[in-house]
Structure 1
Amino acid sequence: MVKKLFLTASIVYTIALVIASLVNLNSVPSLGSSFDDKIYHCIAYLGLAFLWMTYFKPSTQKHIKVIVFIGVILFGIILELVQHLINPNRTYDNYDLMANCIGVLLGTLIAVRLQIITLK
């Protein structure tokens, strides 16, 4: 039951992240820094990595954490490229990719470190 909940949450979060990445987000609240966008990227990918890592954590596959980590990083790269191609108001930014990667790393470390729930 809990495993299905994490799968559903992971899928819904992934879809929401895709939508948020492809539409214009003009009314995002300001955090008062010059790099708010990078903070949002980091937090978004922290959540994404955390959810998928937690879902796959009880897997018996030997390298599942590495596979999920690389998968989420590739997802961020592809989404950054797609948003640039689809939405003329969005631009490709290497710093966004770096923020995504930092978020994935943090989300992965938190999920692995917390050992929240053994999903069965």
Structure 2
Amino acid sequence: MQQLIKSLLEHKKLLFTAAICYTAVLLYLSLGNISNIPRPKFQLADKVWHFIAYCGLASLWGLAFFAIKKHNLTKTIIIICIAAIVFGIIVEFLQGSLTSYRTFDFFDALANTLGVIVAVPILLFINHKYRDKI
């Protein structure tokens, strides 16, 4: 795992490309009609997926920015978190206004936000462990 993270941090363009693609796929899945895609059927499964997706979103953007050697850790994490949370809220509003098959769900936005918040200690750990190796 350490080699993978170190390798990723050495490839700035790859990380930014991955973050952009992940964001685009997340937007597509959030606004598209995915009712025919098989998903686990357990209580709160949707919220778990939202949590994981937004934890991944914030973590991936954090890695992309950490690959840039000069960054202010606190400022970077705050900006990433605010951007990811705002993105999630906007997507929820778009679901309610642009689609007929999706609706705004406050609890989805909450799950997104919690996922972003959980990404913070992950980003702090990665920055602490790998900052001297990139």
TM-score by length of 1: 0.88
Structure 2 regions of 5+ residues with no counterpart?
1-9
Structure 1 residue 117, shift from structure 2 partner: 4.6
Q: Which residue of 1 aligns with 2:7?
A: none
Per mean C-alpha deviation after superposition, the further-off stretch among 94-103 and 21-30 is 21-30
Alpha carbons of 1:3 and 1:89: their partners in 2 closer, same or farther (altered >3 Å)? same
CA distance in 1, matches of 2:111, 2:79: 20
State the alpha-carbon separation in 2 of the partners of residues 90 and 59 from structure 1: 41
TM-score by length of 2: 0.80
Quick one: percent identity of the two aligned structures? 35
SS at structure 2 position matched to 1:111: helix
Deviating beyond 4 angstroms after TM superposition, the runs of 4 or more aligned structure 1 residues are: 116-120
Where in structure 2 are the equivalents of 1:1-20 lying within 5 Å? 2-20=11-29
Q: Which residue, out of 54, 58, 64, partners 1:49?
A: 58
What is the alpha-carbon distance in structure 2 between the residues aligned to residue 7 and residue 29 of structure 1? 29
With 60-69 and 90-99 compared, the bigger mean Cα shift is at 60-69
Q: Quick check: 1:110 aligned with 2:122?
A: yes
Query: Which one has more relative contact order, counting CA pairs under 8 Å at least 6 apart?
Result: 1
Distance 2:104 2:130 in 1: 37
How many equivalent pairs are there?
A: 119
Q: Which residue of 2 aligns with 1:79?
A: 91
RMSD: 1.8
Aligned partner of 1:29 in structure 2 is 39
The answer as to whether partners of 2:58 and 2:119 remain within 8 angstroms in 1 is: yes
Stretches of structure 1 that go unaligned for 5 or more consecutive residues are: none
Residue of 92, 99, 113 corresponding to 1:101: 113
CA distance in 1, matches of 2:23, 2:130: 21
Q: Distance in 1 between matches of 2:34 and 2:130?
A: 34
CA contact (8 A) 2:65 2:71 kept: no
Structure number with greater Rg is 2
For the structure 1 residues 103 and 28, does the alpha-carbon distance in structure 2 shift closer, same or farther, using more than 3 Å as the test?
Answer: farther
State whether residues 53 and 112 of structure 1, in contact with CA within 8 Å, keep that contact through their aligned partners in structure 2: no
